[in-house]
């Protein structure tokens, strides 16, 4: 039986991914701050919680993140930038994935294909940015993309069957997007199916790239 690890399993997308994988007969391990005490912004917490994991995983998905600190919204202009808010968003969305990725190599099998996916966002694309705004969120996701790309290079040297990618899940109907009613939103179950479909289709020579929920390449 395949094994999967979901980081951020209590969130909307993370929970949907876990449920879909379980329905497919996959052995799923889910980690989150609310259930397991995994604080992705604290290296000691990441090392302790992930250090308790045993064996290898065929699929690892990093699905945690924030749009803005609690009670705040993404910045619409330069004058809206706040140091403390930007630090929190960068800590969760960029430093968090880096700390998790640092623990992943020992969890990957050497004798078969494995997939590591970090959920980022299209707004983290510098080339696709036509609207501006959302400084901290955009910057954090751009940083997460670079971290993922760099990790893919390093992991690929040791695990030639590994696929490490950044994924844009689309706008998913979760608490994460509840304050943006004007957007077309995908139900979490459908989003999970879309993402897993993309991950199933990827080969090791596509490692280090950035894809959306439909499997299309997203510009950096």
pLDDT tens by residue, 135-147: 999 999 999 999 9
d(CA 208, CA 194): 19
Domain ranges of the chain: 3-212
Give the residue ranges of DSSP H helices in 59-181. 83-90, 96-103, 135-158
Q: What is the pLDDT of residue 77?
A: 97
How many whole angstroms separate alpha carbon 198 and alpha carbon 133? 29
Residue with tokens 């979901």: 6
What is the per-residue pLDDT for 183? 65
Containing 167, the helix (H) or strand (E) segment is: strand 162-168
DSSP 105-123: GGGS-SSS-EEEEEE--GG
The fold of 3-212 is: Rossmann fold (3.40.50)
Task: List, for residues 23-65, the tens digit of each pLDDT value.
Answer: 999 999 999 999 999 999 999 999 999 999 999 999 999 999 9
pTM of the model: 0.94
Note whether 138 and 130 are within 8 A (CB). Answer: no
Rg, Å, the chain Cα set = 16
pLDDT tens, N- to C-terminus, the chain (220 residues): 699 999 999 999 999 999 999 999 999 999 999 999 999 999 999 999 999 999 999 999 999 999 999 999 999 999 999 999 999 999 999 999 999 999 999 999 999 999 999 999 999 999 999 999 999 999 999 999 999 999 999 999 999 999 999 999 998 876 555 555 556 778 989 999 999 999 999 999 999 999 999 999 999 9
């Amino acid at each position: 039986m395949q094994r999967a690890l979901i980081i951020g399993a209590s969130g909307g997308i993370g929970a949907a991914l876990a449920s879909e994988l379980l329905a497919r007969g996959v052995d799923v391990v889910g980690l989150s701050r609310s259930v397991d005490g995994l604080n992705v912004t604290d290296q000691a917490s990441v090392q302790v919680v992930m250090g308790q994991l045993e064996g290898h995983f065929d699929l690892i998905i990093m699905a945690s993140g924030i749009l803005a600190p609690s009670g705040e919204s993404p910045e619409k202009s330069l004058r809206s930038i706040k140091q403390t808010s930007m630090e929190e968003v960068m800590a969760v969305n960029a430093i968090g994935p880096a700390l998790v990725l640092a623990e992943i190599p020992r969890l990957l099998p050497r004798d078969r294909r494995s997939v590591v996916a970090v959920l980022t966002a299209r707004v983290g694309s510098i080339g696709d940015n036509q609207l501006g705004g959302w400084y901290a969120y955009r910057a954090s996701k751009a940083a997460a993309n670079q971290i993922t790309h760099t990790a893919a290079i390093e992991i690929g040297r040791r695990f030639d069957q590994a696929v490490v990618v950044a994924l844009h899940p689309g706008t998913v109907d979760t608490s994460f997007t509840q304050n943006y009613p004007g957007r077309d939103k995908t139900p979490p179950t459908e989003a999970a199916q879309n993402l897993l479909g993309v991950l199933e289709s990827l080969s090791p020579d596509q490692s280090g790239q950035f894809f959306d929920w439909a499997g299309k390449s997203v510009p950096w």
